[in-house]
Structure 1
Amino acid sequence: METYLPEVETYQQEKAQQEQINNQLVTQGREVVQEQNALVAEEKVLSELEKELVIELETVHITFTVAECGEFHNMGEYHEGIETIEEAIQIYQAIDPSRMNGIPSLGVNMHVEGTEEWEDEQADILSGKCIDVDFLNYTPELRDTPKVQDALKKLIADFPEKEVNDRETKEQKIQALAAELDQLSYEIDTYGYRDSVSDTESQI
């Protein structure tokens, strides 16, 4: 005949509970380690990307060009390797308009160290009566460099009489305005808007 020992049962229950807690702690510990490993890996990737970006920025050299004739740079004066936009503007403004062989232009040139000069990206951004950002949109790697962005702002500020061709920015502004008008029509007549508009994106 077996003797019932409540102490043994209590001990077994406590042991089972402790094992369950231990298993949970082990699982949580593994999860923490996995998260830490993931963070370390992510930091390593970001660090490598930052290094690549720094290297890339250090090897890209942006200069400016000024041409008496934007269409054929070999006709009349042509200046290249200009380090600052301010200097380029001075040269551009100093060209004698009485002997112009064509439409004057001011452009940018991007050279990557270790590549041949014929591989450079070059674009005229001020040509005649217009600052042509649209033309730069075909070479976003040139357009998006901080030096070129600063140069565009300087040109627009210094030549307010020039027309700025920037369809991409205009379209963004139009889209933002359309969204604001859509929101306004919703606020003015919410019920009428809901009755007549089934797709907000199409409406915008």
Structure 2
Amino acid sequence: MSDLVTLSVYECSEFHSMGEVHEGIKSVDEAIRVWNSIPPSRMNGIKSIAIVVGEGWEATEFEAVVGKTMDLEMLRYYSDITTNQEALSLVKELREKIPDIEVVGEIPAQQEASAVRPRHHR
């Protein structure tokens, strides 16, 4: 069974409890709509869109969009994201659908992602 993949939108990327929190979003279009609906006049921080793989305490969350930046270099530290095709598709879709986003780096190659996985002893 594959992990659940959703999106979250935060009014404040650093302290999620400051301001609006929207979790369990199923589509990129909905996440962007919610992200755009947060008014700058009452913003408590830099808004973000995160990709979440899994649920509860076992979930991995990657903040794909922070402000107007998408830092793809950070993906190298999130093997749960880079090894999940649905999560990678959401990253690519966010990049395509937010035209004025500044993209830093590229999505790591699969070989790099698999090198991050822990090795098993013989």
- The TM tier, using the shorter chain, reads 0.7 to 0.9
Of 79, 95, 107, the match for 1:140: 79
C-alpha deviation, 1:167, in angstroms: 5.4
The alignment of Structure 1 onto Structure 2 pairs a total of residues equal to 108
> Aligned partners of 1:153 and 1:144: how far apart in 2?
14
Which residue of the partner structure matches residue 68 of structure 1? 11
Q: 1:158 to 1:168 in 2, by over 3 A?
A: closer
C-alpha deviation, 1:68, in angstroms: 0.2
If you compute each CA radius of gyration, which structure gives the higher value, 1 or 2? 1
C-alpha deviation, 1:168, in angstroms: 6.4
> Aligned partners of 1:75 and 1:137: how far apart in 2?
28
8 Å contact 2:81–2:88 — kept in the other structure? no
Which residue of the partner structure matches residue 86 of structure 1? 29
Identity of aligned residues (%): 35
For residues 149-175 of structure 1, the C-alpha deviation after alignment (integer angstroms, 9 at most, x for no partner) is: 221222111222211112565xxxxxx
Give the letter aligned to residue 143 of structure 1.
T
Q: With the length of structure 1 as denominator, give the TM-score of the two structures.
A: 0.49
Unaligned runs of 5+ in 2: 109-122
Runs of 4+ in 1 over 6 A off after TM superposition: none
Question: CA RMSD for the aligned pairs?
Answer: 1.7
> Aligned partners of 2:38 and 2:63: how far apart in 1?
16
For residues 59-88 of structure 1, the C-alpha deviation after alignment (integer angstroms, 9 at most, x for no partner) is: 411111000000000000001111122211
* Larger relative helix fraction: 1
Give the letter aligned to residue 68 of structure 2.
K
8 Å contact 2:52–2:61 — kept in the other structure? yes
Which residue of the partner structure matches residue 42 of structure 2? 99
* Larger relative strand fraction: 2
> Aligned partners of 1:167 and 1:84: how far apart in 2?
22
- List aligned pairs for 1:181-200, cutoff 5 A: none
C-alpha deviation, 1:136, in angstroms: 2.1
> Aligned partners of 2:82 and 2:29: how far apart in 1?
18
Which residue of the partner structure matches residue 158 of structure 1? 97
Give the letter aligned to residue 76 of structure 1.
G
C-alpha deviation, 1:144, in angstroms: 3.0
Unaligned runs of 5+ in 1: 1-57, 170-204
Q: Considering Cα pairs closer than 8 Å and 6+ residues apart, tell me whether 1 or 2 has the greater RCO.
A: 2
Q: With the length of structure 2 as denominator, give the TM-score of the two structures.
A: 0.79
